[in-house]
Every structure is written in structure tokens, then in C-alpha cells.
Amino acid sequence: MTEVAIRDAAAIESVVARAAAGDEAAFARLVTEHHPSMARVAYAITGDAESAADAVQIAWATAWRRLRSLRDAGTVRAWLVAIAANEARQVVRRQRRRTIVDLSKVAELAHGSDPGDRILVADLARALRSLDPDERSLLALRFAAGLDSTQIAEQLGLSASGVRSRLSRLIERLRLDLDHA
């Protein structure tokens, strides 16, 4: 290792140690140096600038809280980028969890005055009819009854993770079916 690299490593360790001890100026230096890398990674994962910015914002808050747990100050860049990547994946997951159609509104939509609403209800009804009764039951337990995966698992004799997997696949099938309708 050259003398310059040793000084840089020592400088990195010093900045990380000061930031971990609560020095806001040292933390700001980390932000200045590593924010662009974190933003690029988050954008690559989310594909959206606003979502990437949200993920990086959350990542910085996480980094501030957990900086004391960093074992090797020399890995701070990789550690920060990994936090940003994890947060970006969470942002994407949260965006995918949006409700396809609020089933409690189906009756209102069916009787509404907008013909487009009636088409949406008809498409949903058609998509639901294409499912077998076990699949419709699973959806009804989750969305109509409001049970969580553990409660559904107890009712159906399945594992909670199995319920979540099945629900995820069903929702994706419905989403694709409705998108192609």
C-alpha cells in the first residue's frame, strides 16, 4: 500500500469514527462523497428518480443510526451502497403492493354513473370468475375478510409463507389479466 493510500485509509477511518460518534460535519462529508454512488444504485433498481431519491433518503437515516455497527471503516462505501440498494428494493416492493381494485368499492362502482367504472367492475368480475374456488377463497379471506397470512394459514392448513406466495402469484395473475382486458 502506498503512503497516499495509507493516509486516505487513515482519513476514511477518522471521518467514519467521528461520524459514528455523532459528528454531523463528518457525516456530511460522507454524504458528499458517497451520495452520488448511492443515488445511481437506487435509480438502477427503482428506475424512477423520485423513488430513488426516497430510497437514498431512507438509506442515509439508516446509516446515521447504524454507523456505529460498521466493523471496517474501509468498507464504508460498499456498506452505504448496500443500504441504498436494500432501501430501493423495499421502495419497489411497497409500490407493487398497491391494491388492484378496492373490493369494498365494487358495489358502488357497479351502480355509479360512469360507464368506465362499470367496465372495470365487469373486467374484475370476469377475472375473478377465471380463478378456481380455492383461489377465490384465498383472495376473499385476505381482502374481503381482512385476515393476514398467519390467520389464513391456520384456516387453510398451510404455512404463512405459502399463503403469501400464493397470494402474490394470484395478484400478479389478476394484474396481468386486467392489464390485457
* 6 pLDDT tier (thresholds 50, 70, 90): very low
Is the separation of the CB atoms in 20 and 80 below 8 Å? Answer: no
Q: Report all structural domains of the chain as residue ranges with CATH numbers, in order of start.
A: 3-96 (1.10.1740.10), 103-179 (1.10.10.10)
The pLDDT of residue 103 is above 60: no
Q: What is the mean pLDDT of the chain?
A: 79
Q: What percent of the chain has pLDDT over 70?
A: 77
Here the cell at position 75 is: 468498507
| 117: confidence class by pLDDT, cuts 50, 70, 90 | low
AA identity, residue 130: S
- Would the pLDDT of 85 be above 90? no
Alpha helices in the chain, H assignment, sequence order? 3-20, 24-46, 49-66, 76-96, 106-111, 115-129, 133-139, 149-156, 160-179
pLDDT at 114 over 70: no
Classify the C-alpha dihedral 58-63-69-74 as positive or negative. positive
**pLDDT band with cut points at 50, 70 and 90 for residue 61:** very high
Distance between CA atoms of residues 16 and 9, nearest Å? 11
Which pLDDT does position 101 carry in this prediction? Answer: 46
Distance CA 50, CA 97 (A): 18
Residue 33 has what pLDDT? 92
pLDDT mean over 48-60: 93
* Dihedral sign, Cα of residue 20, residue 26, residue 27, residue 30: negative
Q: CA–CA separation, 125 vs 111, rounded Å? A: 14
pLDDT attached to residue 161: 93
* CA gap 80, 83 in Å, rounded: 5
> Across residues 60-76, what is the average pLDDT?
93
- For residues 169 and 55, give the distance between their C-alpha atoms in angstroms, rounded to a whole number: 26
Instruction: Check whether 110 has a pLDDT greater than 70.
Output: no
Q: Which of 27, 31, 6 is nearest to 15 (CA)?
A: 27
**Whole-number pLDDT of residue 55:** 93
| Cell numbers describing residue 98 | 398497491
